[in-house]
Structures are given as structure tokens and as C-alpha cells.
Amino acid sequence: MLLHKLKKRKKALQERMRHPSSSVAEEASSQQPINLDFSRILNGDKRKNPFSKNNSEQNKKVKLQSAPVDESNDHTLFALLKLPAKTEKPPQDVDTEKLSTFSNLLQKFTAEHTVVTKVKENKYKHLTIDWALKTKLRLMSTKPFPWTSKLKASEEASGITGFVRCLDTTSSSLDTSPRARFHQTCLYWQHPHLPWVSLYPRSSGRVAATSFMATNEEVKRGLMTEWTESFRSLFQLVRALHCPYFYVLSNTFSVLFIASGVCGAAEPRALVAPTTRGLRHALRQEDVEFTMPLRPENKKKLNTSDEERGKNSSFDSCYDTMDDGRTNDQNCSGDEDDPDEFLSQMGLETAELRKINNAQARVSHTAESSVDRSAESLVVVSGADAQALFNFLLNCKSLVAGSGPLAGVPPTLLAPTAFHGGTLQALKVKENIINSENNRYYSIELRGPILPTTVHTLFNVLKNSTTSQFSATFAHLQPTLAFTWAASKLAEESSKDNEQNQFTKAFNKENLSDCGISDEMLQLFCSSDPGSIKSVDSVKYNSEDDTYTW
């Protein structure tokens, strides 16, 4: 308002400056004549007090009579909208919902212009497969769960025996109580196991209590020897189809080994994420062929160095396309002239040529490193190259950190089945009761390396032991999220194979019958349907129609 008044005065001043004669005439005409009659003062009449009570009451009456708009909400609204006012009804006949008050009009306007978006929930009969490792799982239900963290001796023994021997407790003589079955789902195999160091996730080692390992060569050599034997045992179990999968977690990257037949694959596979340009270069030097299914389309045509392309023109260098193979063959055969020789003939010196080559190498290295340490840098190794990757990891010196809290500690091995040197571990269970909005919820929290088969087994136990609805939320290990995305893409490619591979898939699926998981779960894990592999953050079970929503 102050700015408005200031602008108004400024405009008036400008008008006076433009038309001085007219402004003086207007001021003269606007001035009223002064009353010079002093007879009232000479006669002794008293001046009226403007602050007296009678005058203030009279002024109020005059103002009320001259007020053009009533102060009520309805009349004010009609006056502002310049509408004729309605006749007032008796109080008992007034319907406040039909009055044209400001609140009613606002509600009517918002009701007419509000867009109601209905989110359609897709229901599924089977739980999806998520190959990403979880660090925490929380179960929520309105009714208490049929188990507690305190177990009897028979329940703990039955759970351990059923897990180690891969037995179905429903068809055996073991304890079939919900507590025993729940304890069986919370077990897993791990190597190495150092009680004073947290090896999952690998980045959580905050206590520098392993400094003596970095300086003691005998301890480092002993840990590495035992780890090599455990790693070899797990890889042989996967090749023999007695273990469906296992994880290798190092400080810089993670590896998922999958047996043939799982996800519809006709041969064993290994997924490595995240990777760097240096790691991919080391794999090429060891003749480990790989693909990058998650790489962006706009980076497929980027070329690598001439040295790498000259090794094998048919080799997928992860940034060359099939169309570039013809160019690579020409370069390898030497039919075309050497560009350096051509430029030297044009008069360029050797120093200038070296600068040009260094600039080109720098550009190619930068382009290849643009996906480093991201989900797009995931590499997939299939078939016989999985054996080459196994040999590469055994001899990889950077697999073990040389400094830091995990110095000298080999990578963590996680598997759902027993292997040489594996330590039987259990997830940490915590129970809580949460009160929210006058409602009581029962919660169970699981912490630790939660494997994909653990989630499915846990939900099967919940379905058979409770009749109420429940939900689960997950906390993922971030680097392993790319495993699910790549597995879904690989399953989509595998489903497009010809009928010749169908016999191989069925044969591998039949051989996986002794891998330690149930037949129903095996049917799901061996499916090549890409829709059955998804990354989920939360899952809800509907007990009424026995379906899942995520």
C-alpha cells in the first residue's frame, strides 16, 4: 500500500509538471470558501466537543444507516459478486449445505475440479525373484506372529537339521512347529567368519581391529588358503548343479554365480557389478569374454584402443558393435595404410603424432570410463568363460584390500547350501510392537545377508502358519541391485531361444532337484519368464485370495 500511495503521488506530480496551469485551476476550484463569520464566538456559544459520547453514538448510527453492504457472510458475498440477495428463511428451514456461502462454493468448486486417480494394484499368485541381497527385512501384521525369538531345544535342533540336510520339515519326522520352521529360514552359510569384524556389508567395517592381519604374513596366507578352498568348493557345487547360486562380496565389486537352468539359462553364468575400466581391461587380457546388457544404447558404438581391437575382431569389446567387425578385420589384416605413416608423410613431426595419439587415447578412455561404478557397468560371463573368471578371481591380487579395517581379509562367500569351510550363521531377529493411530502392529525385523531363497522360504512359512495379512519391507545392498535388472534382461533373451535349447533347459532343471530348494520354488527359479524377476522394495500378502502385491 505504501508503494501504491507513493506511485500515486509520483503520477500526480508528473501531471502538475506537464500541465501547471490546469493543476492550479483545479486546486483553486477545489478549495472551499473560508467561513469568516465570528458572530458565534462573540455571542458566547460553546464549541461542540467532537469526542463526546453523544456525538460518537450519533456518528455510529449515521454510519450504520449509510452502510451499503451488510456484514453477514451471505450478503457480503452477494454484494461482491453483484448478485441479488435472497430472502432470508426462518432459522428452522435453513439448509446450511445449500447456502451459497464462501465455504460451500469453495467445496463445490474443488469437488468439480478434483481428479480422482485410482491406482490399480496388480495381484500375483507367486512371489517375484529379486537377486539383490538384502541387509534388513521387516515384517508387519495386525495379529501376533506364531513364533518368538526364544526357541526350545527341539525346535532349534529341528531347524538346524532341516536346513543343513535340505529337508522338507512337513514330510519328515522333525519338529513341524512354526518356530522350528522359522528358525530354519533364518540360517545361511558364510566364509570367512571373524567374530570381531563385520563382513557384511563389506563397507561396514569401522573398527581397525584387523591391522595385525596386514602385517602378519602367516595369517594372511592362512586366510587366503582357506578361502581358495571354499571358493573352489562352491564353484564345483554350482557346476554339478548341487548349489543354485552363491555370492562373492569384495571391497570393490560383487559377483553372483548362477547354475545352469536357473532363470532359463542353458549354461552357468556369472554377473559382476560394479566394474571399472581397469577391471574390464584385465578381463580382456585374460581372454574372458563378457557382455554388458545394461550399457546405454548411445555408448555401444564407442571404440576401444587399436591394440584391444586387433587381438580378436570377433570379440565383443563391450563398446564395439557387430557392424564394426568388418573395420576391425581390415585393420588387423593390414590392407589399409598406417595413419601415423600417412601423417608423417604429410610433414607432421613425431612429437605432434604422439600428442594426437595421446589425445585420442584419452578420449576413448574417458568414454569407456563414463559407466564405471554404476549399474550400467555390470558384466555377464557365460559358459566356459565362467571357468576363466573363476581362475581370474583366484589370482586377482586386488581382490583383498592391503590397507584399511578389512586389510588382509578375503572376500565374503554367501550360499544357501553347505560347502567346504562354510560357517553356519543365523540372521539376527528382533521383535517389536508398534502403536500407530490407535492401532497395534506386530513387527519382526531380520538383519543380515538375506538371500533370495530366504525370502521365498520365509513367505511360505508365513502363509501356512498365519491367516492374517502381512507385509514386508526390504533394505537392499545397493551394488547388487543391478543383478536383478540384468537377470530380467537375460531371461527375456533366453525366452526367445529356439526349441533346441528347451531340452537342455529341462535337463538342467531336472538335475537341480538336489540343489536344496523345494520343487515349487525350483519351478519358479528355473522359469525363463522375465516378468517373474523384479526388484521390489515392499511386498504385501493378501490372505483372502492368496495373492501378493508389490
Quickly state the pLDDT bin for 503 (edges 50, 70, 90): low
CA-to-CA distance for 457 and 518, rounded, in angstroms? 9
Provide the grid cell at 368. Answer: 569407456
Q: Is the peptide bond between 268 and the residue preceding it cis, with omega within 30 degrees of 0?
A: no
Closest of 410, 433, 407 to residue 421, by C-alpha? 410
Please tell me whether residue 467 adopts helix, strand or coil conformation. coil
Backbone angles phi, psi at 495, to 5 degrees: -70, -15
Which grid coordinates belong to 257? 554365480
- Report the C-alpha gap between 486 and 131 in whole angstroms: 10
Cα 462 from Cα 440, distance rounded (Å) = 19
Confidence of residue 511 (pLDDT cuts 50, 70, 90): confident
- Residues 245, 96: Cα–Cα separation, whole Å: 69
Q: What percent of the chain has pLDDT over 90?
A: 33
Most confident of 2-6, 10-14, 230-234: 230-234
State the pLDDT confidence band at 439, using cuts at 50, 70 and 90: confident
Cell numbers for 322, please give them: 557387430
CA 412 from centroid of its chain's CA atoms: 24
Residue closest to 445 by CA, chosen among 456, 429, 457: 429
Helices (H), 253-311: 277-285, 306-311
Per residue in 168-209, pLDDT (tens digit) is 777 667 888 889 999 999 999 999 999 888 899 886 444 444
- The predicted model scores a pTM of 0.69
The better pLDDT of the pair 212, 162 is held by 162
